[in-house]
A and B are shown apart, each in its own frame.
Chain A
Amino acid sequence: METREYMTIDGIPVALEGEKNLLELIRKAGIKLPTFCYHSELSIYGACRMCMVENEWGGLDAACSTPPKAGTTIKTNTERLRKYRKMILELLLANHCRDCTTCHNNTNCKLQDLAMRFHIDGVRFPNTAEKPKTDDSSLCITRDAHKCILCGDCVRMCNEIQNVGAIDFAHRGSKMTISTAFDKSIAESPCVGCGQCAAVCPTGAIVVKDNTAKVWSALDDSETKVTVQIAPAVRVALGKEFIQDGENAVGKITAALRRMGFDEIYDTSTGADLTVLEEASELLSRLKKEESLPLFTSCCPAWVNFCEKNYPELLPNVSTCRSPMEMLASVIRVHNVPSSRKHVHVAVMPCTAKKFEAAREEFKTDGTSNVDYVITTIELVRMIKESGLVFSELEPEAADMPFGTMTGAGVIFGASGGVTEAVLRRISDDKSRAGLGAISFSGVRGKKGVKETMISYGGKDIKIAIVSGLKNASDLIEAIKSGEQYDFVEVMACPGGCVNGAGQPFASSDAKERRADGLYSSDRLSGLKRSEENPLVLSLYNGLLKGKVHELLHVQYGKNDTKEDSAC
């Protein structure tokens, strides 16, 4: 009989079930051990020293970097440990900007949380650090080194998961900072704007750039017509203050936006449907001509940036389709041309890199961007709070026509594998329910960073890879360069796809999974499963888009390749 192995934590036996480290075991035992620098998906760094535990000999170990050992005993809450944790917090606070009330991450800050939890009622050390300048050169993120606690989460995220390497530690000892190479601004660094650094930052040292003030002033101007589009991933991730993660709240979001004064509210899923049709026909034509394969998706702006900066030779393989946001925006722009009022178009996105995409030269009509302002889900939540609306009491409303119809194929764009699944639904000959099921079980779904599948089309096998996280993307590109053959590659910069974008409110990894599940359940609830079934799309092709498909829905990246432009 197999015997289970145990460890004693604070006097209670806890079974070992292959936990990587003590910290996971302790958390499994229901003890919220404090940490700053531990993220299960990143490498172990052991810098913050908050997770120290006392072993049976009185020695101290950092729980994150100690493997569990059967038969041993540890304590997580002793007088000594509490004293050390308080001192560490006090020291972190000593050099930290303590203007909490005006911080973007006020009430959403680990340092603030832990300072409250451990009753830090005063800091005995003077703040001797010089106040460094805030770097707001990037369109996507703002860095304030004064709030940095040097946990290194952003550095590891940027290097290990995203393989971008825009930031790293510089200098030593008390002079240590997080810096770009040669201390240049973020805009001049290899940053692609994915914002994952901001998503892991425990304090407000890296935050998403805020555009809410600009949106409010457009809303307040009665001469301006303000239209808005809501991305698929936004509806399932308003954060636990408003909804449970995974619950589809698009109706309530629409109601809130309407109360705030947006004139017309559209659904980016419609844009996604356009993308599916264009991308599917692009794939088929490339397969026919057998050129520029594999076809890489182009929906993710951080991936496009990454490709431009690191693999410019692959740009011909990147789909010429605009992203759903930009497709819908250019259609809306044309649709609104005969308007007497000034028109401002806002996009609510789960993504920080979209802010950069919106400002790209390629997506301007007569010098103005098709999307005037991109706000992230975090900013939407901020605006709803600011407006005083009680979200739970809002009655769900429908989006406006003509760009408010959604199909299941459009909505699943927000999860990694969603684009592929939607394209497969489009090109698959089997239009039956069983055919849909076969596609969803073919390996396109799931949270894995690299997924592969093969389907047959017209007697030929199409080999597909789906990657999320830019490190996975560059590994795949290297494999392709060494001879691996693929026909279609979907790349999403954020691990797990747009639902886990940096513009989304902070969530635990379980909650993140529920967000993707929420999109799939919206797909199940939707009567229209395939993009070509969207009635609006058909009428667009016969009307507004006639003869303009290429001009409005496609883009050639790499043409305006000036160095200044490529800076995010």
Chain B
Amino acid sequence: MLEILERIVDGKGEEGDIDLLLELADTISATALCGLGKTAAFPVVSTIRSFREEYEAHIKEKRCPAGSCKKLMTISIDQALCKGCSKCARSCPVAAISGKIKEPYTIDSAKCIKCGACIGTCPFGAIKEG
């Protein structure tokens, strides 16, 4: 189960994974030898019950609505809010942000490691993740 979940948060989830998880959880809850084993799958079942659309977003759109799956997260600069102060570019540890002073900056998502350091430095709240 863990391997399937990890696959999903890595953006490699496949159609049918949710059903497979539910089937697995059902088998484990019904047949496990110990009480701990019987309940081990419950968190997965309840998250699927309550947040099924989030699972689907991960699998189908390769998107994490809550913004907590690093591999699925993108950080971008709102071009309308950015004043081109360069603070974010200076804070970036991998030099993924570039641009001209007083013009909107951009993030190279191939270079970005999603550390989020830039978000806190922006005085205008122009950098968003999701």
- Which residues from A are CB-within-8-Å of B27? 83-84, 87-88
Q: Which chain B residues border A126 with CB–CB below 8 Å?
A: 3
Closest to B32 in A: A49
Least CB distance from A111 to B in Å reads: 17
Write the chain B residue with the least CB distance to A87: B27
**CB-nearest residue of chain B to A174:** B2
Q: Total number of A-B contacts with CB less than 8 angstroms?
A: 28
Let me know if A232 is at the binding interface, CB within 8 A: no
Q: B20 to chain A: which residues have CB within 8 Å?
A: 124
Question: Taking the nearest CB of chain B, how far is it from the CB of A85, in angstroms?
Answer: 9
Kindly state the interface size class of chain A when it binds its partner. 10 to 19
Q: Are B3 and A49 in contact (CB under 8 A)?
A: no
Q: How far is the CA of A259 from the CA of B33 in the complex (A)?
A: 53
How many whole Å from B44's CB to the nearest CB in chain A? 15
Q: Is A234 an interface residue (CB 8 A)?
A: no
CB distance from B59 to the nearest CB of A (A): 15
Q: In the bound complex, do residue B3 and residue A60 qualify as a contact, i.e. CB atoms below 8 Å apart?
A: no
Does A567 make an interface contact (CB < 8 A)?
A: no
Given B3, B16, B30, B33, which contacts A84 in the complex, CB threshold below 8 Å? B30
CB distance from A246 to the nearest CB of B (A): 38
In the complex, how many residues of chain B place their beta carbon closer than 8 angstroms to a beta carbon of chain A?
11
* Residue numbers in A under 8 Å from B31 (CB-CB): 49, 52, 60, 84, 88
What are the residues of chain A within 8 A of B16 when measuring CB–CB? 124
Q: Are A128 and B3 in contact (CB under 8 A)?
A: yes
Say whether chain B's binding surface is mostly helix, strand, loop, or mixed. Answer: helix
Instruction: Please determine whether B30 and A46 come into contact, CB atoms closer than 8 angstroms.
Output: no
Q: Does A448 contact B (CB under 8 A)?
A: no
**Distance in Å: Cβ of A156 to nearest Cβ of chain B:** 15
A80 part of interface (Cβ distance < 8 Å): yes
Tell yes or no: A47 within 8 A of B by CB: yes
Q: Using Cβ atoms and an 8 Å threshold, which residues of chain A touch B108? A: none
Q: What's the minimum C-beta distance from B17 to chain A, rounded to whole angstroms?
A: 9
Contact residue among A47, A83, A91, A125 (Cβ-Cβ distance under 8 Å from B33): A47
Closest A residue to B27 by CB, please name it: A87
**Is B24 interfacial (CB 8 A cutoff)?**
yes
Question: Smallest distance from the beta carbon of B83 to chain A beta carbons, Å?
Answer: 49
Contacts of B23 in A (CB 8 A): 83, 87
Q: Mark A126-139, 1 if CB is under 8 A from B, else 0.
A: 10100000000000
- Counting chain A CB atoms within 10 Å of each CB, the highest count among B3, B30, B32 belongs to B30
Q: How far is the CA of A87 from the CA of B3 in the complex (A)?
A: 16
In this complex, what residue of A is CB-closest to B19?
A: A124
| CB-defined contacts of A49 to chain B, threshold 8 Å | 31-33
| A48 to B31 Cα, complex, angstroms | 9
Return the chain A residue nearest B16 by Cβ.
A124
In whole Å, how far is A70's beta carbon from the nearest beta carbon of chain B? 26
Contacts of B3 in A (CB 8 A): 125-126, 128
List A80-126 residues whose CB lies under 8 Å from chain B. Answer: 80, 83-84, 87-88, 91, 124-126
Measured in the bound complex, the distance between the Cα atoms of B29 and A49 in whole Å is: 12
Could you write out 26 A-B pairs with CB less than 8 Å apart? A46-B33, A47-B33, A49-B31, A49-B32, A52-B30, A52-B31, A60-B30, A60-B31, A62-B33, A80-B30, A83-B23, A83-B27, A84-B27, A84-B30, A84-B31, A87-B23, A87-B24, A87-B27, A88-B27, A91-B24, A124-B16, A124-B20, A125-B3, A125-B4, A126-B3, A128-B3
Interface residues of chain A, those whose CB is within 8 Å of chain B, are: 46-47, 49, 52, 60, 62, 80, 83-84, 87-88, 91, 124-126, 128
Other than the given A49-B32, A60-B31, A84-B30, 10 more pairs (CB < 8 A) read: A46-B33, A60-B30, A62-B33, A83-B23, A84-B31, A88-B31, A124-B16, A124-B20, A125-B3, A125-B4
